[in-house]
Amino acid sequence: MKIMRFILIGIVFVLVSGFTECYKPVTESGLPKNIKTIAVPAFQFEAKGLRYRVESRFTEAVTREVIRRGRGLKVQGSREGADAVIEGNIRDFSFTGVLLDREGRARVYEVTITSAVTIRDLKSNRILYDNQNFIFRDSFEFSDDPRSFFNEEDPAVERMARAFAESVVSTIVNGMGVKEEKK
């Protein structure tokens, strides 16, 4: 019985000590150390046609996400005095019916937004991250009853803006694709 107890204690000790490195919290940003202030100017809308506030929703979502997860980064709207900038463009916006009802009317729609984002170090004028093909899709459904109609396009765009912001800020925070030059 004593031997079993020693073996069990030994196994528990090996297992616990072997996994201590797996649970370290991420404490550093993927950005170079000199970047303390990041500018998020208004995104540009390059897509044809007008869509109400799409670019401002994406800009606001990125700003909120940097504040929430930026680990002490200061956020501002203008480039003046900033160490880095997140530039964004909404390149395409499409809205298509994907599921028809019995009468042949579209009931489920898909919104697709293609955007571009560049993160630039303003001090060295170096691109830290660039993705010209961020694609986000979301779908929504129209009600069969015209009395309960609610346009779901706006909430779908809000969801895509949040997903976009989470992706961009995760890239910054986790350092994927953002490389600091070794000196």
Which of 5-19, 87-101, 117-131, 169-183 tops mean pLDDT?
117-131
Contact 127, 135 (CB under 8 A): no
In this predicted structure, the answer to whether residue 27 has a pLDDT above a threshold of 60 is: no
Q: What is the mean pLDDT of the chain?
A: 78
pLDDT at 31: 75
Q: Which domains does the chain carry? A: 29-174 (3.30.160.150)
Question: Model-level pTM greater than 0.95?
Answer: no
* % the chain with pLDDT above 90: 20
pLDDT at 135: 86
In this predicted structure, the answer to whether residue 178 has a pLDDT above a threshold of 50 is: no
Assign residue 72 a region (left: φ > 0; alpha: ψ between -120 and 50; beta: otherwise). left
pLDDT per position as a tens digit, 87-110: 999 888 887 888 877 877 777 888
Using CA atoms, how far residue 58 sits from 24, 118, 127, 164, 169, in Å, is 32, 14, 21, 7, 12
Mean pLDDT score, 7-29: 60
pLDDT per position as a tens digit, 58-73: 899 999 999 888 778 8
